[in-house]
A and B are shown apart, each in its own frame.
Chain A
Amino acid sequence: MMALSNVLEAPAAGFNFENSSRNAALQAGLEGQTPRPMKTGTTIAGVVFKDGVVLGADTRATSSEVVADKMCSKIHYMAPNIYCCGAGTAADTEKTTDLVASNLTIFSLNSGRKPRVVMAVNILQDLLYRYRGQIGASLILGGVDCTGSHLYTVGPYGSVDKKPYLAMGSGNLAAMGIMEDGFRPDLELDQAKQLVRSAIQAGILNDLGSGHNIDLCVITDRGVDYIRPYQESQYKDHRTNKYRFRQGTTPVLTDTVVPLELEVVEEKVQQMETS
């Protein structure tokens, strides 16, 4: 999987299922109690406004019914002018976006240009299609480049859609309702931020897989404003105690020292050249 600058090396044909037999053996050994992957059952949304793109995401990562991470970061960096929200399996979205970010950096260094959003989309589509849906990543890419502001979604099977407003993840039905109602072409920055905030809020309130804070990322041609968190959860818990223990809290009952007897097997002396 190479950046466009390394066009000469085409990716190896076919799928890489090296681990499939190992996984099958593990599953047989564990008898169905395999650890569930951490999913970002999620609400992510994006909207194109007058001067750029606003991306938003919640911050809950779940492992089945347990919240694995309350402050998970779902808006990933791809390039100085391109950011990507990821829904689906947390590891997949993280690694896929990292891979593309590296490729875009190589491209930038090679060509001296800022990468375009459509480049990232093409690389992602290629990768996800090649793996036939085995990589569980639903992504919303947004960015501003020399051709304008763009917002794309890439599905886990490799299908791409380009739209002015999008929502993905388990909470996307709730978020899409807000988006459909509130979207207008050429929104102002504050309106766009409010729209995305409301959409994510709808997802948080109505979807069990989404929750906690709302992160926003505003991308314009002047730069990026990564607001984390934009809105904090109302249900924050406050620790009532300090859980630090001073030295000596646990009393030492006995102290045993066992010297390790070492035998000199080989001795080598090497002169250091200091000239």
Chain B
Amino acid sequence: MLRACLRGANATARKNYRRIPLTSLQQCRHYTAGEGSSASKVVVAGLLTVSGGIGGTVLYAKWDRLCLCVCVFSLEECNECHEHKEATAVHPAPTEPMKERPVEEVAARLAQQEQEEQDISASVSASLEDSLASSAKATLQAIGAQEAALQAIMQHTDKLKEAMEAEVLPEEKSNQWKDLEAALADRTTALNDARAALSKANESLDSLRSVIDESKGLKISSVRPLVLAAEENLHNMVVDLDKMVMKCFCVLAGKLSTDDLNALIAHAHRRIDQLNRELAEQKVREKIHIDAALEQQKLEDQKALDSAVNTALQHVKEEARLDQERKLAELREVMEAEMRTQLRRQAAAHTDHVQDVLKVQEHELKAEAEQVLSSKMLEQETRYRQLTQEQLDNFTLDMNTAYARLKGVEEAIDSHVVAEDEARKAHQLWLSVEALSYSLKTAEADVPTVPLENAAQAVRDSCRDNDFALALASALPEKSLQRGVYSEASLRARFNSLRSLARRVALIDESRNSLYQYFLSYLQAALLFEKRQEAPPSQLSSEDLDPFKLLSYASYCLEHGDLELAAKLVNQLRGEARRVVEDWLIEARLTLETRQVVNLLSAYANAVGLGTTQAP
């Protein structure tokens, strides 16, 4: 406990004075030495340390009171002090230089300047206020901290005096020292806080100063009062701060007076006595302790020995067991290996045997399979051959049928062609016959038709290989071919004119042909009246052979379109009448003949056409 307190005091002294007393190092070294070294040495060392420390404090305090300022705080604070001293000497900024300008421009410029100045002043004032506020806060904080430090120092000093002056029991002394140490710690912390706060305050003051400098640097008149006020505030704050610091210093510095020192020495002596007493007590106690400790040690050694023996025994046992097991394992391995080799041999033998057997089996199976394969192949082949043959037969059959059909089709087509040809020919014939019959109609009143030669030629051409038609075509009378025929109407008209003549020469024949007969026949014709037209009977009797009757019959027939009958009847005329109507008869015969032939041809052509024309 004592050592701890001493160490704390040394550390504080180190921090405060920046002089590491050599004894502290020594003390460290001593502390780290083993427990077995003599306690007296330790005690002496501690006492020396204490005295040295206290003496040092006293001597140093007496030597340089001012330098406390420098040594209590850090070098930075010293610098700050210096800076602080310098800052107060700064004065306000110079005036703004004025130049000659035109009036309007000046006015505008002034207005602009004013505006600018107002803006800037507003901003500057704001900034100044901010920095002032912050610095004031910091300063107050610093001052507070300084006061707290002061309080702590005072407390510590009291506690120290108390500890030194009071005559109390060692335990309580120790407590007191403990309290003192605590108080020292508090003082240290308080001092640190104060320092920190002071540094902060200094910083803020510096910032404020810089702001002030800036605003001063702006050179605006409206800002100046604000700047001055700020500067005043700054100065006040700095002054307060310094006062507090000085107070602190004074408190720290003027701590120890002569009485105090004497008291301190007395206290030190007392303390030494106390410590000596304690030391003696300690010696005795120590001896007892050592004996007890030795005893204990012996017991412990014995125990340790026993335990060591036990453990050694156990270890040996364990080792033996392990060895045994290892040996067992090795043996097992060896056995296993041997077993494996034997098994391998057996396996090899087995595989050989199996191989042989497999070979034999393979042969057998192969032979079997080959046999089966060959038989199957044969079967397949025969089937295949059969199928192909069948296919071939079928194909041949189909081909034959197709060929036959083709032939049939060809024949049909040929016959068709033939039939078509026939049909064409028939049509040609028919057309030519039609042309012929049409040409018959070309006969106008008392003008014969066109010569039928062309039409007949056309008919002959169109039926070159048709004998019947050819015969018919060649049966046409020559006259009709060369000259044409008269139509029935013309013949009818002619007959009407001829009739009167025939009537007139009705009496004239081979035997009676004098003029007198002529006169008589004329008379007869004039006096005899017969029916204009009379239907002829189916059979002519002898009295029907009268020319007048015949003529009326013929007339009737002609009127009813029966040229043939008329011609027949007219053919019954005899004598001069006959001679007179001879050429008419010839013409009639010609016409009839031609018409007959043409009718025949037409009928034939129609028949042939009908025969060849295929009904749809």
Q: A and B from one assembly?
A: no
Residues of B within 8 A of A (CB): none
